[in-house]
Homo-oligomer: A and B are copies of this chain.
Amino acid sequence: MTIGQAAGLKLGKAVRDAFGTALKELGNEFPTVVTVDGDVGNSTRTEVFAKAFPERGFNVGIAESNMVGVAAGLAAAGKIPVVSSFAAFLTCNAYDQIRMCVAYPHLNVKMVGSHAGISIGEDGASQMAIEDIALMSALPGVAVVVPADAPSTKHLVKGMLEHHGPVYLRCGRIDVPEIYGPDSVLTIGKANQLRDGKNLTIIANGLMVGIALDAAVALEAKGISARVLDLHTVSPIDQEAIVKAVKETGRLVVAEEHLPHGGVGSAVASVTAQLAPCPIEFVNIGNTYAESGDPEGLLKKYGLTAEAIVAAAEKVCSR
């Protein structure tokens, strides 16, 4: 994996791994946390928690709808359930249950989707969540959080457990570069500026943050100065940071591992249209399903590269 190389970042753990470890480490501090799995705890890494706290881990089998309903019942009875599956199955297969049993009554359920995006690779489109941000952001009162790396995941998992109300946490499968240090502080709802710049701002989250930082380095070489904002929380969105970016840099590129509709790009575009209209270019997989392949090959084929961000930045600067 070459992500983060240009920016001088070193490869760290996958977000899902950091999630599993963090959950286990927080297990004693949050004694009402329980996990509810749909037979993929070894993929989502809730297994790490469930092995450490066997009485607090439930596996209800391959039955995502029931899984979410059970989690809602546990929450209504005072637990903090962390319910997880592949992001595609959690968000798509149990959407009505999330809507009715979690979002509508605003129950304290933490929903974690692993294997988000096309970077999962060889398993192909059926296992890739490329619409989960659209779906989960369309739930009033649900916080939608997309960590960029392992260290920030640790913080955001704690933030998620402390937050009162439903949260969706999106995790990737593959190892990603470390962007944050162990002491970085991240707050749900507050975007994080990773690099300043004056010609444009690249807004990204998840896997795309490292790629955005690479792109910023390449742009610098071309004389374009790019601010990079980690928009780890998509909902509620940090309007202030976005407006500030527009005011100070004039234009935006939004990069996300998602399809165009309903993702970070359209959320940002709604904010700017209302508060600070400006040119934006969007970097995403396009309006398509992806396919099987190696993660790096897929990212390239579906346009999620530093080169694509550079091209978008050049384009937006020329508008």
Q: Is the CB of B100 within 8 A of A126?
A: yes
- Name the interface residues of A134-154: CB closer than 8 Å to any CB of B: 134-135, 137-141
Q: Is the CB of A125 within 8 A of B104?
A: yes
Note all chain B residues with C-beta closer than 8 A to A267.
261, 266
A277 vs B250: C-alpha distance in the bound complex, in angstroms?
Answer: 12
A205 vs B167: C-alpha distance in the bound complex, in angstroms?
Answer: 31
A96 vs B129: C-alpha distance in the bound complex, in angstroms?
Answer: 11
Q: Is the CB of A270 within 8 A of B266?
A: yes
Of the listed residues A99, A235, A252, the one surrounded by the most CB atoms of chain B closer than 10 A to its CB is: A99
A137 vs B134: C-alpha distance in the bound complex, in angstroms?
Answer: 9
Which of A6-14, A51-59, A181-189, A278-286 lies on the face that meets chain B?
Answer: A278-286
- Name the interface residues of A263-308: CB closer than 8 Å to any CB of B: 265-270, 272-274, 277-282, 287-289
Minimum CB–CB distance for A35 against chain B, Å: 22
A93 at the interface (CB under 8 A from B): yes
- Name the interface residues of A199-229: CB closer than 8 Å to any CB of B: none
A4 at the interface (CB under 8 A from B): no
A168 at the interface (CB under 8 A from B): no
Q: Is the CB of B278 within 8 A of A134?
A: no
A56 vs B134: C-alpha distance in the bound complex, in angstroms?
Answer: 35
A27 at the interface (CB under 8 A from B): no
A49 at the interface (CB under 8 A from B): no
* Cβ-neighbour of A281 out of B140, B260, B268, B274 (below 8 A): B274
Note all chain B residues with C-beta closer than 8 A to A125.
104
Minimum CB–CB distance for A183 against chain B, Å: 33
Of the listed residues A95, A134, A138, A279, the one surrounded by the most CB atoms of chain B closer than 10 A to its CB is: A138
Note all chain B residues with C-beta closer than 8 A to A100.
126
Q: Is the CB of A277 within 8 A of B274?
A: no
Q: A266-B269, A270-B265, A273-B273 are in contact. Are A131 and B126 (CB under 8 A)?
A: no
A262 at the interface (CB under 8 A from B): yes
Q: A93-B96, A96-B92, A262-B262 are in contact. Are A104 and B131 (CB under 8 A)?
A: no
The contact string, 1 if C-beta is below 8 Å from chain B, for chain A 58-94, is 0000000000000000000000000000001100110
A89 vs B138: C-alpha distance in the bound complex, in angstroms?
Answer: 15
A277 vs B100: C-alpha distance in the bound complex, in angstroms?
Answer: 37
Q: Is the CB of A137 within 8 A of B95?
A: no
- Can you give 24 A-B contacts (C-beta < 8 A)? A92-B96, A93-B95, A95-B96, A95-B135, A99-B131, A100-B126, A134-B134, A135-B135, A138-B261, A140-B287, A141-B287, A261-B267, A262-B266, A265-B270, A266-B269, A266-B270, A269-B272, A272-B273, A273-B273, A273-B279, A273-B282, A274-B279, A274-B282, A277-B279
Please name the 6 residue pairs, one residue from A and one from B, whose CB atoms are nearest each other, closest first: A262-B262, A273-B280, A92-B96, A93-B96, A131-B138, A269-B269
Interface residues of A (CB under 8 A from B): 88-89, 92-93, 95-96, 99-100, 103-104, 125-126, 131, 134-135, 137-141, 235, 252, 259-262, 265-270, 272-274, 277-282, 287-289
